[in-house]
Structure 1
Amino acid sequence: MKKYWVTNLRVLATISVILLHAAGFGSLHVKKIAYSDWWICHIINVFGRFAVPVFVMLSGYLLIGKYEELSTFLKKRFTRIFVPFLIWSLVYLIWSNFKGLANERTPWTVGDFVKKILAGGGGGAGHLWFVYMLLGIYAFTPVISRWIKGTENSPLPNTRRNEVWYFIALWVVGNVVYTLINKWFGFEIKFDIRYFTGFVGYFVLGYYLGNTGTKLSKSTLILLFLAFWGLTAYICYVVSWQAGKYVYDYTDYLSLPVMGMSVTIFLLFQKACDVDFMPKVMQELDITSYGVYLVHALILRILSREYRINFTWIHPLVGITTHFLITALISYLIVKIISKIPKVGSWIVG
């Protein structure tokens, strides 16, 4: 049975990433632009913070427990993700050597290009960090899938529930509690639980929530999402204004408020958005979402640097909206055109 809410949520997450990146640069200008203009950039930026965790949660829901031979799984997932990532990493490196800022350029040697790709963020392609993270989780998926699903046939065996909750609890402690104690009290807890940190927690959480759901009502989930959104925005505003610069601590993808946003919107779509909404359009946007993610940062940069279409254009709402819409449209068209190239199109855009 097709899960329409998965498609709908993944499309929203893709759109939100583009919107976040269109607004995000403006939110960095703490006390450097008009107060109201900064808040417009900031509130849009914060809204989009759920997108990356949701991508990971959906991957966990869809992949954990889907048994394939190890070689088949790795070939299928890594080919689809890694090859387009490698191609677009090279595109960003080459483009930045011609058009980028001085700190984005790379010497024209194979060794330097390889180092930049291995180190990440080369050519100003900082958004590709997501792919590095995703590939790491995919490498771990066959192991974690066998642990959670075992050999039983139920969606989430009762014998595994306590273990999954144990994992999620330590994940929250490692990412949130440890971090806050270090920040608020100035010391670092040395009990090593690094294996329970990072985005793998969202991966496991997505599988768990996707199979168990929630008893909370739709209205409660909406209110909780809005509350976490507002809390994230406010806390980040307070600490950033005190510091005189943008502080990422509370908009980090592994911070507690962003976790709250991500979980509530995931459950909201599962409960209330499992509808076949504009099926052809949503399916098309879903299929092209990975390619759009790879491409969009380049289009954002060109529009901003070459044509000054960004949050400074006319008014932040106008600039961000225009920046976002043109980027989304051009990115989609590029991916669609490339995907039509016989035999090689899918290798380029996934």
Structure 2
Amino acid sequence: MAKGNFSTGMDTARVGACFMVIMLHVAAVNFNVFDDQWWAANFYDSLTRSCVPVFLMISGVLLLNKQEDLPAFFTKRFARVLPPLLFWSLFYMAWNTSQGVHYGAWSGWIKTLASGPVVFHLWYLYAILGIYLFVPFLRNIWQGSRLAEKRMFLAFWMLVSGWPIIRAVFDIDIDLLETYSLGSFVGLIGYLFLGAYVFEAYQKKMMKGQYWWTNAGLFVVFSALTMAATFAYSKHVDAPDPLFYDYLSPFVMAASVCVFNVLYGLGAKLRPYSAALNRISACTLGVYCIHIFVMDRLESMTGLLQSDGSSWWAIPVAASCVFAVSLASIMLLRRFRPFQHVT
């Protein structure tokens, strides 16, 4: 595929995944109680569970086929993640302090930063640091493997990653991961390998028009299966349970492959808007970091998600508003050069 189509496809996938993250977090507000809003929350949450996997698959496409020495890799990647992690952690800590949360002296702030995310969604920035540590080695595995070996790696990863859910659903006592020390095949890092593999497959099939529509249809199917499985298991345990929402659940894995192909393929149709997409794509990290702050402010001012209105329209409306305000805020910040390094 032409370089322009590749860039627009990656930008479209990144922007789509960013909006899905916001929709997921907005939908999650009404998930924990079985009431007349629960089905809407389950529907939108199931539809957007592929958001983080798509981000990771994009990283796999961009990183695993590259050739660069270790100092250059770590300097570039950590310089991209560490400043936003520190800035947004301090931003939320400062906000929390203004709301009455106390972290103590400066040593307390440092301990809080080192202990984990200050706000739940910043877990991704911590996780990506750990993932980047392994990328140079995963890159050698990818580049040194034949097609059959790549498929075997992915098969082991999918089976082992999905085992905890299989074990919980069928109440199996055997812990294969512990017994056979299969932990090396578990984790979100497998999505980088999956992204590179799926992208290669897409290149071979991109000339077939039905491929895009097939992926779109299958994405709907696997999202519906996630929704149905979540309802069935929640009824089984008599409480809303997000077991099948896990990023490593089989239905989410399958949906992630499909929506990645859908979003990337959509990029070819959006070539006339490539400049705008590229500009929005450059803001997605900042939008991801700030959107919880915007969402909380929107909810406190409007009460939209806690109102008596239907969540079927309230969730997409709220998500669109949060995305728009977050994007506008980040675009404004990026007009000042120092903020370009943290957004």
2:280 to 275, 278, 285: 285
Does residue 1:181 correspond to 2:167, yes or no? yes
2:56 alignment counterpart: 56
Task: Name the CA distance, whole Å, in 2 between partners of 1:285 and 1:248.
Answer: 31
Task: Name the CA distance, whole Å, in 2 between partners of 1:227 and 1:277.
Answer: 30
> Does the CA-based 8 Å contact 2:21-2:48 persist in structure 1?
yes
1:237 alignment counterpart: 231
The TM-score normalised by the length of structure 2 is 0.90
> Does the CA-based 8 Å contact 2:165-2:243 persist in structure 1?
no
Does residue 1:23 correspond to 2:27, yes or no? yes
Q: Structure 1's 132 and 8: CA in aligned 2 closer, same or farther, altered over 3 A? A: same
Q: How many angstroms does 1:169 deviate by?
A: 1.4
| Structure 1, unaligned runs of 5 or more | 151-158
Task: Name the CA distance, whole Å, in 1 between partners of 2:196 and 2:280.
Answer: 23
1:65 alignment counterpart: 65
Q: Letter of the 2:131 partner, please give it.
A: I
> Does the CA-based 8 Å contact 2:212-2:265 persist in structure 1?
yes
1:6 to 10, 15, 19: 10
1:340 to 322, 327, 335: 335
2:253 to 237, 241, 259: 259
Task: Name the CA distance, whole Å, in 2 between partners of 1:258 and 1:294.
Answer: 23
Q: How many angstroms does 1:146 deviate by?
A: 2.3
SS in 1 for 2:309: coil
Does residue 1:79 correspond to 2:73, yes or no? no
1:323 alignment counterpart: 318
Q: Letter of the 1:196 partner, please give it.
A: F
Does residue 1:166 correspond to 2:152, yes or no? yes
Task: Name the CA distance, whole Å, in 1 between partners of 2:280 and 2:308.
Answer: 28
- 1:265-304 matches, within 5 Å, as 265-271=259-265, 273-275=267-269, 276-304=271-299
RMSD value over aligned CA atoms? 2.0
Q: How many angstroms does 1:98 deviate by?
A: 2.2
Q: Structure 1's 336 and 145: CA in aligned 2 closer, same or farther, altered over 3 A? A: same
> Does the CA-based 8 Å contact 2:61-2:199 persist in structure 1?
yes
Residues 36-79 of structure 1: per-residue CA shift (max 9 Å, x gap)? x2111210111110110010001001111211221111111111
Q: How many angstroms does 1:259 deviate by?
A: 0.5
Q: How many angstroms does 1:129 deviate by?
A: 1.1
Aligned length: 330
> Does the CA-based 8 Å contact 1:23-1:311 persist in structure 2?
no
Q: Structure 1's 311 and 321: CA in aligned 2 closer, same or farther, altered over 3 A? A: farther
Residues 279-301 of structure 1: per-residue CA shift (max 9 Å, x gap)? 23211211101110011011111
Task: Name the CA distance, whole Å, in 1 between partners of 2:32 and 2:316.
Answer: 18
| Structure 2, unaligned runs of 5 or more | none
SS in 2 for 1:26: coil
Task: Name the CA distance, whole Å, in 2 between partners of 1:81 and 1:277.
Answer: 31
Q: Choose between structure 1 and 2 for higher RCO, CA contacts under 8 A separated by at least 6 residues.
A: 2
> Does the CA-based 8 Å contact 2:234-2:240 persist in structure 1?
yes
1:90 alignment counterpart: 90
After TM superposition, the runs of 4+ consecutive aligned structure 1 residues lying more than 6 A away are none
> Does the CA-based 8 Å contact 1:311-1:320 persist in structure 2?
no
